[in-house]
Amino acid sequence: MRRFVLPAVLVAIASGPSCTPARDSLYRPPRPNIIFIFTDDHGTQAISAYGSRINETPNIDRLASEGMIFRNAFVTNSICAPSRAVILTGKYSHLNGQLTNEETFDGSQPTFPKLLQRVGYETALFGKWHLKSAPTGFDEWQVLVGQGPYYNPPIRSAVGTTEITGYTTDIITDLAIDWLDSKRNTAKPFMMMFQHKAPHRRWDPSLNHLTMYDDVTVPEPDTLFDDYTGRGTAARQQTMSIARDLDDRDLKFEPPEELTPDQLELWNQAYEPKNAAFREANLSGDDLVRWKYQRYVKDYLRAVASVDDNIGRLLEHLEQSGLADDTIVIYASDQGWYLGEHGWFDKRWMYEESLRMPLIVRWPDTVAAGSESTAIVSNLDFAETFLDIAGAAVPPDMQGESLEPILQGATPPEWRTSFYYHYYEYPGWHDVARHYGVRTERHKLIHFYTLDEWELYDLERDPDELTSVYDDPGYADTVIELQAELDRLRQHYAVGEDDRPVDSALE
């Protein structure tokens, strides 16, 4: 840390209070700026760089073609606030205290933005925060209140809360670009967290995307009508079913209540004819499920389209302002998501779609353009990666690994080959039972510990995870091996017993 603090003092003495030192002053090694673009609930199935069959994301794809795409980036606890707390602290949920969306984040603990500030970075945060306590470690922050609406959001900052009229994804981008352009301290490298609410439920499109996809049929996933016969109790007891659990607001029979009269008029012009056609058709059974899937997934993809448009705006701004060459741009989302796979919306599970998060990194002159990594990486690694990039010391109690060697094209030979997952929010939304487990390149062992049930999947033979082979004698050795690995990981990460009370309904 000292090597960065001392030069800053020298610069101040040499240049005097009225003179701003040049960014690449001899007195300070040049360090890249970091822009962390982070969305909420964006599954890789809806990113064309990941092979989407259902949409195009040209601006996110551009980051991939100019940078590195991670094929096996996993979240430690697949839900909004816990994922964010892991990213900030570099520690699993049981150590950072954010087990579920219910706790208030303890902002007094060490986080990577605070540590970046100490080595001379200016830090800023725009958009979704979702950790209840006021952000700490940021020189500038303007955030949504809680989840925040898609329209006309109240924006909270250090000086109070103001409502801004417009579409939230556009507004967050306006705030970020404005800061980059005219508010930041250009004498310092910066780290900006640019965090969208979209495409989180309730998937409200912007007014210019209300009829996008109206004339297409989105392909259905193979497992839309999964009956869960190959799995345990948990998969049958969830309440995230497209057939059963989407409500009128999700399905756009009700508009967002935040709309102004002018916005509402445009909204109704788009949805009323579609809703009338639906009533006319009088669907039932599988046809009704198929209709709900189309309605749900199209609105989701419309929300994604605005995210991609706005990433385009940001990238354009970086080019025009001359920042692009000195700025690392990362794209990630807080977890994966179900777009009808297994009949579901939402996340939470250790199953693949919600475990896997998008991660794309563009770092000019360091990351090879169009490269990819299949190493098992995680949101647990982000804090250490950012500190490493900035030349800051990593606290010894952070639990991830810096991705910098992978980004430079040399995955360390001792890189992890197994990954520990733990979901806690039960009782809670969508009734997904608590579970932990281990994933390796080929297998996944899950313990639904409040149900006393185990599941094992062979991802090579059964990539859709339709049939647990936990009780298959052919996998007896694999079970023993993975249970030992699970024990080792739980010990390594200092995971204690989760003895919080559980609703008896699931037992």
Q: Which parts of this chain interact with Ca ion (CB under 5 A)?
A: 40-41, 80, 334
User: Smallest distance from the beta carbon of 196 to Ca ion, in angstroms?
Assistant: 11
Find how far residue 267's CA is from the centre of its chain.
28
| For Ca ion, the closer CB: 355 or 486 | 355
User: Smallest distance from the beta carbon of 432 to Ca ion, in angstroms?
Assistant: 14
Residue 156, φ and ψ in degrees, nearest 5 = -95, 135
Cβ count within 10 A of residue 56: 16
Apex 222 CA angle, 427 and 58, nearest 5 = 90
Paired tokens of 98 = 């954010």
| For Ca ion, the closer CB: 278 or 421 | 421
| Closest alpha carbon to 190 in 106, 289, 122, 273 | 122
| For Ca ion, the closer CB: 357 or 486 | 357
H-helix or E-strand spanning residue 6: helix 2-15
Paired tokens of 21 = 């030192």
AA letter at 257: E
The contacts of residue 360 (CB under 8 Å, 6+ apart) are 49, 60, 63, 64, 67, 68, 69, 70, 330, 331, 332
User: Smallest distance from the beta carbon of 7 to Ca ion, in angstroms?
Assistant: 40
| For Ca ion, the closer CB: 40 or 458 | 40
| For Ca ion, the closer CB: 40 or 352 | 40
User: Smallest distance from the beta carbon of 38 to Ca ion, in angstroms?
Assistant: 10
H-helix or E-strand spanning residue 263: helix 261-281
User: Smallest distance from the beta carbon of 335 to Ca ion, in angstroms?
Assistant: 5
In three-state secondary structure terms, 494 is coil
User: Smallest distance from the beta carbon of 220 to Ca ion, in angstroms?
Assistant: 23
User: Smallest distance from the beta carbon of 291 to Ca ion, in angstroms?
Assistant: 26
| For Ca ion, the closer CB: 40 or 309 | 40
The owner of tokens 């998501």 is 337
| For Ca ion, the closer CB: 92 or 475 | 92
In three-state secondary structure terms, 155 is strand
Four-point Cα dihedral 255, 256, 258, 260, nearest 10: -30
User: Smallest distance from the beta carbon of 438 to Ca ion, in angstroms?
Assistant: 23
197-212: b (≥16 Cβ within 10 Å) or e: bbbbbbbbbbbebbeb
Q: What is the DSSP code string of 382-417?
A: HHHHHHHHHTPPPPTT--S---HHHHTT---TT---
User: Smallest distance from the beta carbon of 334 to Ca ion, in angstroms?
Assistant: 4
* Residue 75: CA count within 13 A, CB half-sphere: 35
| For Ca ion, the closer CB: 291 or 429 | 429
* Radius of gyration, CA atoms only, the chain: 23
User: Smallest distance from the beta carbon of 277 to Ca ion, in angstroms?
Assistant: 32
What's the CA gap between 491 and 486, in Å, rounded? 9
Note if the bond before 405 is cis, omega within 30 degrees.
no
| For Ca ion, the closer CB: 25 or 147 | 147
Q: Which residue is nearest to Ca ion (CB)?
A: 80
| For Ca ion, the closer CB: 40 or 220 | 40
The contacts of residue 183 (CB under 8 Å, 6+ apart) are 140
